[in-house]
Amino acid sequence: MWYYISMTAEDITNRFLKTLNDLENPQGEFFCADLAKPDFCLIQDYPRRKFILDVENVLKNLSENQKTNITGLFGFVLDKNIDFISIKGYPSALNLDKEGSLEYKKVFALVEKFVNENRITVKNYPSLSRHMNIIAKALPEFLTTIGKIQHHTHSYTVDIHTLKVLQGVIQNPQYPKLPQNDRYALQISVLLHDITKKEGEIDKSHPACSARDAGFILNKLNIPLNEKSKICLLIRHHDWLERYNKKITTADEFADILKEGNIFKMLCIFAEADLKAVQRDGGFYEKYKDVLQKGIQEIGSLISHTTNAA
């Protein structure tokens, strides 16, 4: 990705938004790709798992506090659970000095290799490969999701699930009816909606945590504040159906929270695509499609009533 080094935030943002437009093309590779194929994957020149193991190896003789002190300078820690060593946070060497201890310099080189020198390839999809590299330049945080395993309910890793949701969103017949700024917001919210999701386990905190992190991540892009706020709202409530179904949040409460503009319409498109991107056999969507329609009707009617009354 060396050719991006001199690009401004505006340049990166413009390339990113153009790529989002390209992904919408009904004749394009992404729109038509069969993402459910077991062999569909994003291939990194320097895979996330290899990066994690290399960092662990460099720091193996240090105490846990010393390890955290070094990786923390680069914006991440190695997060261990029973089955995985994963990344918590987002590796970056931006604005950091190359000089330091031997371990620091080695981690610096690994972070540069993972974030700035890495390339993504999608086998048999050259245009999509190019688009993924542009997305990764605008949102390098996405690199931490590639190959990240989800809870066993899911058929897909986080990155492929995310792309499945994105494809489902843009294929929804209601999606083209949205104005362009809302289409951008919906696509970006999908790309970041699981950005903090913990590896290999159920993570109920990820909608709120991903929305929080998205607020910081998007600061480096040339996107208006009101659009950033919209994206964070979409991410924070992308699990609205579960909370509605379990009566954690009432229909009236959702109608009040999600009444502005096209927010609820966007979240309905989002929810359907998210459900369909859980399991290859479609079983998860079939299980919840009726409650999805019930929620759409009930909350939508409340929002319409409020809007008409106003």
What DSSP string runs through 255-278? Answer: HHHT-STTHHHHHHHHHHHHHHTT
Domain membership flag for residue 108: yes
Beta-strand ranges (E) seen in the chain are 43-44, 76-80, 85-89, 120-121
Q: Do both 86 and 182 map to the same domain? A: no
Q: Do both 128 and 112 map to the same domain? A: no
Domain membership flag for residue 210: yes
Using a pLDDT cut of 90, give the percent of the chain over it: 90
The residue out of 67, 83, 118 marking a domain boundary is: 118
Q: Which domain holds residue 203?
A: 8-41+119-309
Q: Do both 199 and 56 map to the same domain? A: no
Residues pairing with 274 in the sheet: none
Domain membership flag for residue 76: yes
Name the least confident of 5-9, 171-175, 204-208: 5-9
Beta-strand ranges (E) seen in 65-178 are 76-80, 85-89, 120-121
Q: Do both 83 and 220 map to the same domain? A: no
pLDDT band of 84, cuts 50, 70, 90: confident
Q: Do both 65 and 187 map to the same domain? A: no
How many domains does the chain contain in total?
2
pLDDT band of 309, cuts 50, 70, 90: low
The residue out of 97, 118, 139 marking a domain boundary is: 118
Nearest to 304 by CA among 249, 268, 264: 264
| pLDDT the model gives residue 306 | 75
Q: Do both 196 and 59 map to the same domain? A: no
Q: Do both 36 and 177 map to the same domain? A: yes
Q: Do the beta carbons of residue 90 and residue 140 sit within 8 Å?
A: yes
**Across 118-145, average pLDDT:** 97
**68: Cβ–Cβ under 8 A, 6 or more apart, which residues?**
77
The residue out of 84, 118, 152 marking a domain boundary is: 118
Please tell me the distance from the alpha carbon of residue 190 to that of residue 238, in angstroms, as a whole number: 9
Residue pLDDT, tens place only, 10-27: 899 999 999 999 999 999
Q: Do both 29 and 76 map to the same domain? A: no
Q: Do both 147 and 106 map to the same domain? A: no
Domain membership flag for residue 59: yes
Residue found by looking up tokens 């990705």 in the block: 1
pLDDT band of 310, cuts 50, 70, 90: low
Q: Do both 110 and 135 map to the same domain? A: no
pLDDT band of 307, cuts 50, 70, 90: confident
Does the pLDDT of residue 276 top 90, yes or no?
yes
Q: Do the beta carbons of residue 119 and residue 1 sit within 8 Å?
A: yes
**218: Cβ–Cβ under 8 A, 6 or more apart, which residues?**
188, 228, 231, 232
* Alpha-carbon distances of 239 from 190, 203, 224, rounded to whole Å: 12, 12, 25
Using a pLDDT cut of 70, give the percent of the chain over it: 97
Does the pLDDT of residue 128 top 80, yes or no?
yes
Does the pLDDT of residue 66 top 90, yes or no?
yes
Domain membership flag for residue 1: no
Q: Do both 136 and 284 map to the same domain? A: yes
Domain membership flag for residue 26: yes
Domain membership flag for residue 300: yes
Q: Do both 74 and 204 map to the same domain? A: no
Domain membership flag for residue 3: no
